[in-house]
């Protein structure tokens, strides 16, 4: 394989008395490199010849620098759906846990024969926590708003049933009687 390199003679300033220039490696052990010879008459013409060099065949892996393929939209949607599923599952679990605690506390209170009105206060705190969890789940659309309203209503009904069972409706959730207003409308 022969190769020629074209050079402008003015870029290399060699003296005219140079008859030959030889580039020889000090150790000639490599079969890849062979000595190159230059003669002065070629420099005056502006042409340099390079003698052929045999190359050793190298096996290499070629990596193409092609642009990466755009992410598959279906795979991305699947990842997003999985993330939302886990988040929603935790929210729903929290709502169920809070509701279960309220219902268990109400059941214990209902079975007590001599329950006092002060014993409803811890249950009301649990109900407030359950309402908060339900409202947060509705806010982030984990639960539908009607589902949230139904669950809150279920808790309120159970609490009301326990209060009626014990004969006390002092929590202020019932209708007021004796306010002088028979039709339930307030005076304007």
Domain boundaries, given as residue ranges, for the chain: 3-50, 74-166
CB atoms near residue 163 (< 10 Å): 21
Q: Residue 130 has which token pair?
A: 């359950």
How many angstroms separate the Cα of 134 from the Cα of each of 67, 117, 145?
47, 26, 9
DSSP annotation of 119 = G
pLDDT per residue rounded down to tens, the chain (188 residues)? 444 444 444 444 445 554 555 555 455 555 555 555 555 554 555 555 555 666 677 676 665 666 677 768 999 999 999 999 999 999 999 999 999 999 999 999 999 888 887 888 999 999 999 999 999 999 999 999 999 999 999 999 999 999 888 876 554 544 444 455 555 555 54
Q: What is the pLDDT of residue 52?
A: 61
Q: Residue 171 has which token pair?
A: 């929590």
Which CATH code is given to the segment(s) 74-166?
Answer: 1.20.58.110
Backbone φ and ψ of 5, nearest 5°: -115, 125
DSSP H or E stretch at residue 114: none
The counts of H helices and E strands in the chain are 4, 4
């Amino acid at each position: 394989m022969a190769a020629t390199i074209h050079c402008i003679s003015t870029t290399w300033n060699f003296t005219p008395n140079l008859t030959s220039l030889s580039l020889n490696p000090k150790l000639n052990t490599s079969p890849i490199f062979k000595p190159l010879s230059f003669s002065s008459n070629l420099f005056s013409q502006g042409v340099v010849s390079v003698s052929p060099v045999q190359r050793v065949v190298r096996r290499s892996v070629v990596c193409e620098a092609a642009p990466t393929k755009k992410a598959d939209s279906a795979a991305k949607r699947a990842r997003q759906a999985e993330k939302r599923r886990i988040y929603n599952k935790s929210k729903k679990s929290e709502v169920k846990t809070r509701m279960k605690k309220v219902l268990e506390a109400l059941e214990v209170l209902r079975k007590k024969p001599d329950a006092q009105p002060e014993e409803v206060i811890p249950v009301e705190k649990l109900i407030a926590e359950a309402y908060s969890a339900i409202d947060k789940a509705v806010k982030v659309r984990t639960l539908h708003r009607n589902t949230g309203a139904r669950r809150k209503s279920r808790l309120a009904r159970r609490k009301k049933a326990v209060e009626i069972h014990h004969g006390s409706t002092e929590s202020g959730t019932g209708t007021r009687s004796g306010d002088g207003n028979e039709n339930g409308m307030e005076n304007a």
